[in-house]
Amino acid sequence: MTSMNRKPWAQSSFNFKVQLALVSTIPVAIGALFVILGGFDFSIGLIGVFLPIQVIVVGVFGWLKAKKRGLGDALLIFFTIFFSTLVLVLLLSVLGSVIFEGFKALTPHFIYENNRYVGTTTSLEYGGVGHAILGTILIVLLTTVAAVPLGIAMAVYLTQSQSKMRGVVRTVTQSLAGLPSVVAGLFILAVMQFTHLERSGLTGALALFPLMLPTVARVAEESLRLVPADLRMAALALGAPNHKAFFQVILPAAKSGILTALLLGLARIVGETAPLILTTNMNNTTNLNPFIGPMASLPTYVYNFLGSSYSSSQQRAWGAALVLLIFVGILFGAARILGRKKSLKTSKKAK
């Protein structure tokens, strides 16, 4: 289907576009005037002045164009754009504030130094998140080593086998994706009660495991499903047993999708806070052994320093949040680029 069919109403004349531009800018201008000249609070200007004027103007415009039909259409489009803009503004506000505040704390030494001798009031010239970055990387790697093979195996079960249990497994896996992160932490704590495991990086990694597994399984399942069935059939017809068909044909074909699964799984857990607060101890020095001793991580670092009201601590929290956000951004961006490559390949094939 072409995009034309999807929007049978999409044609519009130049004149109409000019009118539309007027309709959409006049209320904004009036609202802005009220805020600037009337000294209103921005929220009051938005909700009390701009919104009613915009609704009325858009409604009148629609009514003039096509009576009742136009009214409904105009309001639908206006509210769609209004709410979507709200989402965009919220997201940009989150990103903008973290980047803006975080950059104040971000210096080279903030990234590689650890926090030895740093208290809540120590100025930002000393100390940094180096130990927390290393801790996060180690903990997350430990989780990945366990969760990725298992997640891929689940995806294989969901796509390659003919079992009748697939639907149930899929539902349970998806429900696990909604596991509250604090419960994952409590679960590992309960396990620690029985096994006498000490709090360390390992317990933190274990607590992240149930959170990563469903994400990896779901994304890997989607990517395996995108591999044309012909490939598998061809391999089987040439006499390859199923496991060889998988490892030598399907897995290479789905390579970028599997990598995407890995990256999105990492992005899912790298910022998880509650499980790590419950199962690891905060540490101010670098610890490279995830099996013994306390281990810092970026989310718990943010959490700890946000708890104190001193401005230097708050700055540290913002700085660490920015570092965390950069991590997430890198993982997410890499996943996007891989995903785009994949879709390009399939679309070429389709031609």
Does residue 319 touch another protein according to CB under 8 A?
Answer: no
For residues 241-260, which are near another protein according to CB under 8 A? 241-244, 246
- Let me know: does 66 contact 73? Beta carbons within 8 Å: yes
Does residue 351 touch another protein according to CB under 8 A?
Answer: no
Does residue 282 touch another protein according to CB under 8 A?
Answer: no
SS (H, E, C) the chain: CCHHHHCCCCCCCHHHHHHHHHHHHHHHHHHHHHHHHHCCCHHHHHHHHHHHHHHHHHHHHHHHHHHHHHHHHHHHHHHHHHHHHHHHHHHHHHHHHHHHHHHHHCCHHHHHCCCCCCCCCCCCCCCCCHHHHHHHHHHHHHHHHHHHHHHHHHHHHHHHCCCCCHHHHHHHHHHHHCCCHHHHHHHHHHHHHHHCCCCCHHHHHHHHHHHHHHHHHHHHHHHHHHCCHHHHHHHHHCCCCHHHHHHHHHHHHCHHHHHHHHHHHHHHHHCCCHHHHHHCCCCCCCCCCCCCCCCCCHHHHHHHHHCCCCHHHHHHHHHHHHHHHHHHHHHHHHHHHHHHHHHHHHHHHHC
- Answer for which of 12, 161, 248, 346 binds another protein (CB under 8 A) is 161
For residues 109-148, which are near another protein according to CB under 8 A? none
Which x/- pattern over 54-73 shows residues binding another protein (rule: CB under 8 A)? Answer: ------------x--xx-xx
Q: Which is nearer to another protein, 69 or 345 (CB)?
A: 69
Which region among 31-39, 128-136, 197-205, 301-309 touches another protein (by CB under 8 A)? Answer: 301-309
Which region among 50-58, 115-123, 248-256, 317-325 touches another protein (by CB under 8 A)? Answer: 317-325
Does residue 14 touch another protein according to CB under 8 A?
Answer: no
Which region among 26-34, 111-119, 250-258, 298-306 touches another protein (by CB under 8 A)? Answer: 298-306
- Let me know: does 133 contact 223? Beta carbons within 8 Å: no
Which region among 5-13, 19-27, 50-58, 112-120 touches another protein (by CB under 8 A)? Answer: 5-13
Closest approach of another protein to the CB of residue 89, in Å: 10
Q: Which is nearer to another protein, 1 or 37 (CB)?
A: 1
Does residue 77 touch another protein according to CB under 8 A?
Answer: yes
For residues 81-110, which are near another protein according to CB under 8 A? 81-84, 86-88, 90-91, 93-94, 97-98, 101
For residues 323-342, which are near another protein according to CB under 8 A? 324-325, 328, 331-332, 336
- Answer for which of 271, 287, 295, 319 binds another protein (CB under 8 A) is 271
Closest approach of another protein to the CB of residue 22, in Å: 20
